[in-house]
């Protein structure tokens, strides 16, 4: 079914409206695992997106331990990747800039074994595709789990050509959700979101999102919404729609759609979220 902002999104987003006597502890203490050498930016982008979309506290666990602070976003708490789970986060995202080193494999095993609600992206998915044990751990997780593959990552998980995924996207997203007992966001034009029973089609978004880091932004948004109380399917559908709608608004000012960066996008998504929250209050 097509995601409809008025009936699908607004009731979910109303859960995000904050009471006067609120504090950061009410909105999740989220953790992001990734950022190997040369790919720190991916983890930071996900963290910045989670921050701007309302997560209460954010730890970023980096495999490359040389960075001690994000100079443009000091609100993020930077720790060594192997110390991250000791912070006792409420929700976990693993994958942005993770790489496929021995340490990455060990961290992914710990994430899959944890009881935390989990978002899996990028190299976390590539490692799962290579290891039968990881597939089994993913299938048997009790906590809510969301995977966010692009078509090539989906093809690796399904052990088929990327062209086959693109030719039958709805079947692919259904199979991923069923085989791994999780929620799936199959990215691309008309992103598909599925649980084990239904499929939603997101019609927002455009080619301006064809730039580096946009997947990291989307996973950070999903993490933030999940941490603020939305269900896995609600967080997935709302994140996909808001991400795409922000790009649609940007393209009205830039009709050729060239040059939208990931660092700009999470700010636009924050604007879109607050606009939708205003609309949700008007419908109350």
Nearest to 117 by CA among 282, 245, 276, 235: 235
The reply to whether 21 sits in an annotated binding site is: no
Task: Kindly report, residue by residue over 119-167, the tens digit of the pLDDT.
Answer: 999 999 999 999 999 999 999 999 999 999 999 999 999 999 999 999 9
Backbone conformation region of residue 146, classed left if phi is above 0, alpha if psi is from -120 to 50, else beta: beta
pTM of the predicted model as reported, rounded to 2 decimal places: 0.97
Task: Kindly report, residue by residue over 137-146, the tens digit of the pLDDT.
Answer: 999 999 999 9
End-to-end CA distance of the chain: 24
The reply to whether 126 sits in an annotated binding site is: no
Q: Which two tokens stand for residue 187?
A: 């990215």
- Which residues does residue 61 pair with via DSSP β-bridges, in sequence order? 33, 79
- pLDDT at residue 132 in the model: 96
283 pLDDT band, cuts 50/70/90, is low
- pLDDT at residue 14 in the model: 86
Residues in the chain: 284
The string of DSSP letters for 14-78 reads: GGGPPPTT--GGGG-EEEEEE--TT-HHHHHHHHHHHHHTT-SEEEEEESSTT----TT-TTSEE
10 pLDDT band, cuts 50/70/90, is confident
Q: Is the pLDDT of residue 262 over 80?
A: yes
The reply to whether 189 sits in an annotated binding site is: yes
- pLDDT at residue 50 in the model: 98
Cα 88 from Cα 167, distance rounded (Å): 42
The reply to whether 183 sits in an annotated binding site is: no
The reply to whether 41 sits in an annotated binding site is: no
Element (H, E) at 60: strand 57-62
Q: Is the pLDDT of residue 69 over 80?
A: yes
Task: Kindly report, residue by residue over 50-64, the tens digit of the pLDDT.
Answer: 999 999 999 999 999
276 pLDDT band, cuts 50/70/90, is confident
CATH superfamily of 24-282: Ribokinase (3.40.1190.20)
Per DSSP, the three-state class of 122 is coil
For residues 182 and 157, is the Cβ–Cβ distance under 8 A?
Answer: no
CA 181 to chain centre: 17
- pLDDT at residue 13 in the model: 85
Q: Is 236 exposed, middle or buried (0-12, 13-18, 19+ CB in 10 A)?
A: buried
Q: Which residue has the higher pLDDT, 68 or 283?
A: 68
What's the whole-number average pLDDT of the chain? 95
Nearest to 43 by CA among 71, 24, 70: 70
Q: Is the pLDDT of residue 281 over 80?
A: no
The reply to whether 187 sits in an annotated binding site is: yes
Q: Which residue has the higher pLDDT, 5 or 169?
A: 169
- pLDDT at residue 211 in the model: 97
CA 125 to chain centre: 13
Q: Is the pLDDT of residue 284 over 60?
A: no
Element (H, E) at 125: helix 123-130
Task: Kindly report, residue by residue over 227-258, the tens digit of the pLDDT.
Answer: 999 999 999 999 999 999 999 999 999 999 99
Could you tell me the maximum CA-CA distance found in the chain, to the nearest angstrom? 52
Q: Is the pLDDT of residue 6 over 70?
A: no
- pLDDT at residue 53 in the model: 98
For residues 70 and 44, is the Cβ–Cβ distance under 8 A?
Answer: yes
For residues 241 and 232, is the Cβ–Cβ distance under 8 A?
Answer: no
Cα 16 from Cα 54, distance rounded (Å): 9
DSSP 8-state class, residue 82: G
Q: How many H-runs (helices) and E-runs (strands) does the chain carry?
A: 11, 9
Q: Is the pLDDT of residue 5 over 90?
A: no
């Amino acid at each position: 079914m097509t995601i409809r902002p008025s009936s699908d999104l607004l009731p979910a987003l109303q859960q995000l409206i904050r009471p006067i006597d609120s504090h950061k502890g009410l909105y999740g203490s989220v953790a992001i695992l990734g950022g190997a050498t040369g790919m720190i930016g991916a983890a930071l982008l996900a963290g910045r997106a989670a921050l701007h979309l309302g997560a209460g506290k954010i730890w970023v666990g980096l495999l490359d331990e040389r960075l001690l602070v994000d100079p443009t976003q000091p609100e993020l708490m930077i720790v060594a990747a192997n110390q991250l789970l000791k912070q006792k986060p409420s929700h976990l995202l693993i994958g942005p800039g993770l790489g496929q080193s021995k340490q990455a494999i060990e961290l992914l095993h710990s994430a899959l074994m944890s009881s935390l609600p989990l978002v899996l992206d990028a190299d976390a998915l590539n490692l799962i595709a290579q290891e039968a044990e990881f597939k089994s751990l993913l299938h048997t997780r009790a906590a809510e789990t969301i995977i966010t593959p692009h078509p090539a990552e989906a093809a690796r998980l399904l052990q088929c050509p990327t062209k086959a995924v693109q030719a039958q996207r709805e079947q692919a997203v259904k199979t991923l959700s069923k085989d791994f007992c999780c929620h799936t966001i199959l990215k691309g034009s008309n992103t598909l979101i599925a649980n084990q029973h239904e499929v939603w089609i997101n019609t927002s978004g455009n080619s301006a999102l064809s730039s580096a880091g946009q997947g990291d932004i989307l996973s950070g948004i999903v993490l933030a919404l999940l941490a603020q109380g939305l269900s896995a399917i609600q967080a997935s559908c709302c994140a996909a729609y808001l991400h795409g709608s922000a790009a649609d608004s940007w393209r009205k000012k830039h009709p050729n759609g060239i040059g939208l960066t990931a660092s700009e996008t999470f700010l636009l998504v924050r604007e879109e979220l607050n606009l939708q929250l205003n609309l949700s209050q008007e419908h109350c």
